[in-house]
């Protein structure tokens, strides 16, 4: 059986924490930032942990690099 390959799209968008959770960059940070408040932009700077049923799929897609 061949080795499972890492999903390269997921590799660019997600990182795995030391405890095995997947984290991602906040949305709405790419452009059109001039009308957003500083408080909103500051909160969007933080990485978020993926929750729900998608978390398991993301971890499985990143499994070969773990």
Whether residue 48 contacts residue 28, with contact meaning beta carbons closer than 8 Å, is answered with: no
> How far is residue 40's CA from residue 11's CA, in Å, rounded to a whole number?
27
66 pLDDT band, cuts 50/70/90, is low
Residue 16: name the closest of 50, 54, 53 by CA: 50
- Give 5-19 pLDDT, tens digit per residue: 888 898 899 998 999
CATH: 1.10.10.10, 3.40.190.10, 3.40.50.10470, 4.10.410.60. Which one for 8-65? 4.10.410.60
Res 22: pLDDT: 92
* DSSP code of residue 34: T
Domain residue ranges in the chain: 8-65
Q: Please tell me the pTM assigned to this model.
A: 0.72
- Give 32-65 pLDDT, tens digit per residue: 999 999 999 999 999 999 988 889 889 888 877 6
């Amino acid at each position: 059986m061949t080795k499972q390959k890492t999903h390269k799209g997921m590799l660019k968008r997600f990182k795995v924490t030391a405890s095995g959770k997947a984290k991602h960059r906040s949305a709405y940070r790419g452009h059109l930032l001039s009308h957003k408040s500083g408080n909103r932009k500051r909160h969007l700077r933080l990485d978020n942990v993926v929750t729900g049923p998608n978390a398991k799929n993301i971890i499985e897609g990143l499994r070969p690099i773990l």
